[in-house]
Amino acid sequence: MTPLFPTPYYAVIFTSTHHALDEEYEGLDDFLIDLAEKSGGFLGMDSARSSLGISVSYWQTVEDILRWRQNADHKLAIQKGIDKWYEHYNVRICKVERNYDFMRKVY
């Protein structure tokens, strides 16, 4: 789970419905995380999937997000996702204004 950071920073919330996923999709997912890690300003990514998929990536600035989106390999990967798996997705670019956590105490 991605830790908290001093605010403000940015989050990209990606929610999707999709057809049956396969091993090739897992490979794409790993590839995209790898790509993000090599892109400047990347802070982390959290993903979970039920009937809906949710991936949230965290970034230092909006410019870091735009640069990542413009990356040619990223564009190709998203296009492949559209061709093969995604039915519908929403992308939200957000400024994280406050954050806090709860950690279970171990006695």
Stretch that binds its own copies, among 8-16, 22-30, 31-39 (CB under 8 A): 8-16
| Single residue of 37, 49, 73, 76 touching its own copies by CB under 8 A | 49
Q: Is 38 in the site for its own copies (CB under 8 A)?
A: no
For residue 55, CA distances in Å to 44, 103, 104 come to 11, 22, 24
What is the residue type of 87? Answer: E
- Range 68-97, binding its own copies (CB under 8 A): 82, 86-97
**CB neighbourhood size of 12 (10 A):** 19
Residue indicated by tokens 């640069």? 67
Positions touching its own copies (CB under 8 A) are 1-4, 11, 13, 15-17, 46-50, 52-54, 56, 62, 82, 86-104
